[in-house]
Structure 1
């Protein structure tokens, strides 16, 4: 069967493996490896936060660059190149102990993961929609949660074999390379691009009348969401290891996040069909705020794991719902307006992600606890829910 005629299910599976590699592993494996790095390198929380922020800054830069029409070459080249760089940068983390080198490597890794996400949209999601199989996007987005769960199992298994932090990074790079080979076999090149419509419908209207208070509140809320989820998503394994009564959960907590994230896009899409994307967004933010607060509530392993599960069950859903609602509100301005607003939304989200780990690391150095930064993150999520849930 010619590559262009491959079944949509295979295409969605290719997307699952690509997001598992670039996002679940390349972007988020730092979380379960961080406690090992902290022990092996005496890495201060402030430096750990900077390393995470560098990755998210790279993601922001990559997401904005990836949407540029001036990039040469075909999307599949950038897609596979991003996966390869993601594998190489994970392995490269094992080759240095320099903070500046860590910052550079994780920045490049963030750029690579963003490129994979941006170009897989063209290679996978667009073609699934054209084929009338848009529902398979839930399988595609499940890759993030599957990758997180896989990375949790990988780190836990290697920990049982007394692996150190260097070996964990090397194994993560190797796993990413395997997933790259699978994705390359399942995701064919895109068909020739169709010509842009000649009716001028992609042009941004001069008055930009589609921009209103509701859309601006959504953009602000998306930035608060980026800040609110990322502190727990970065430090939850470290919290487990550093809190005596929670140490039994260290190998389970990141697995709980991944397993709950995998089906979350499907679940939140169903909720949004009933309530609308804005109400679903607000509900998910409130549930996530509860989960973030529970991870520092000091009430034992069960509620700590519940908090992690709520984080996993919501963060991908909120991500998708924000994109969905922005597309809807900006659609009156045409395709150019949609691209512009998605870029602004990405910038807002990226800024929140960059500030979150740095803020948490600084506050930890001042207070000796992740409780205050986590409660600040929960408050940011509550504000995000109020901004989006407000009518008009």
Structure 2
């Protein structure tokens, strides 16, 4: 049991590597490749990203219930199985409207899997590790997203040599391998630690935390869906420079997640959120500058803020809610997912209506990031 607890943060990281790092973010470098291969047009590719975000919302809302019914380890198994199946199903190419419907359904299921894994992995790990290790463990778990981004960015170019179908199959096999290796170390906390309510039934409102997290999520939809396409079709990057965009995004995410939890313990949740929002604003501002170099700068800044913010929010939730952190984290994850799903469809419509204008979608993202920064600054020291 002690060995299982020691390995739990790494198992949680593996769950998010697949459920978010690959099942969501590996799609970003695939986006321009699918358009170039004629699987979908630019508007359709953006819509598939929105379908994934909608599935994520449903998974985030249903994850706690699945954990209660199945137990955390089995619920994590379900999420990993669905993510793997979704990869393999996307390898089937159909024609016409059926293609978009088929891919949309499976991208939505991949998002659902990611939502379940995100809702359960972090709180479950924090419930089984000693209190002194919780901040660091939260960073390790969330770093799985960033390592998945790096893995996806590294795998996509060579897998593309086998075509789009071969790419999806390769990602499915990678997902299966991670699942089989890490599942013996799934965290298995007491049900009350992750699914119950604290004594007295009180959960802090944490209004500022939730508002900032939701607005930050909305602001990051543009880079999380369109960044590689901005580099390829918007700035003319190709070859190594284009492949580096998503690797840099992931490396920035690793830095953001591994430092996020620790800085919450050092600065406190409010100040740490403010720092991350400043970086997000800078990242989105860079996407509006001309030239490919600005995109390469925006990538690590975007990864640092967009992925690292989850480690900050998880640490802040534990800081504010204590034993009720699991419940507060599910609320935060659901709001994050709702904000991203709504913004994803709005940006897909905007992208199509403006003739696939990257300036329009990234300008909207910058506006939302500025609002998130403002939300993080509102209120005094006691504000929730």
TM-score scaled by length of structure 1: 0.86
Question: Partners of 2:165 and 2:262 in 1: how far apart?
Answer: 41
Aligned to 1:283: 275
In 1, are the aligned partners of 2:124 and 2:189 still within 8 Å (CA)? Answer: no
Aligned Cα RMSD in Å? Answer: 2.7
Shift in Å, 1:37: 1.0
Aligned to 2:199: 202
SS in 2 for 1:263: helix
2:365 to 377, 381, 386: 377
Shift in Å, 1:7: 5.7
Aligned to 2:252: 260
In 1, are the aligned partners of 2:279 and 2:305 still within 8 Å (CA)? Answer: yes
Question: Does residue 13 of structure 1 match 2:5?
Answer: no
Aligned to 1:150: 151
Aligned to 1:228: 219
Question: Partners of 2:119 and 2:51 in 1: how far apart?
Answer: 19
TM-score scaled by length of structure 2: 0.88
SS in 1 for 2:159: helix
- Structure in which a larger fraction of residues adopt helix: 2
Aligned to 1:314: 305
Aligned to 1:24: 21
State the 4+ residue runs in structure 1 displaced beyond 6 angstroms.
none
Aligned to 1:164: 163
In 2, are the aligned partners of 1:46 and 1:358 still within 8 Å (CA)? Answer: no
The count of aligned residue pairs is 373
Larger radius of gyration: 1
SS in 1 for 2:351: helix
1:220-264 CA distance string (max 9 Å, x none): 222211110121111111111103543352111001011111132
In 1, are the aligned partners of 2:93 and 2:165 still within 8 Å (CA)? Answer: no
In 2, are the aligned partners of 1:45 and 1:361 still within 8 Å (CA)? Answer: no
Residues 118/201 of structure 1: CA separation in 2 closer, same or farther (3 Å cut): closer
1:243 to 205, 213, 234: 234
1:297-341 CA distance string (max 9 Å, x none): 11x22221110110011112222323433444455xx73xx5554
Shift in Å, 1:155: 0.7
SS in 1 for 2:182: helix
Residues 50/188 of structure 1: CA separation in 2 closer, same or farther (3 Å cut): closer
In 2, are the aligned partners of 1:75 and 1:122 still within 8 Å (CA)? Answer: no
Question: Does residue 72 of structure 1 match 2:69?
Answer: yes
Question: Partners of 1:326 and 1:121 in 2: how far apart?
Answer: 11
1:35-56 CA distance string (max 9 Å, x none): 1111122523332222111111
SS in 2 for 1:164: helix
Question: Does residue 354 of structure 1 match 2:354?
Answer: no
SS in 2 for 1:95: coil
Question: Partners of 2:232 and 2:307 in 1: how far apart?
Answer: 25
| Uncovered stretches (5+) of structure 2, i.e. residues with no partner | none
Question: Does residue 55 of structure 1 match 2:46?
Answer: no
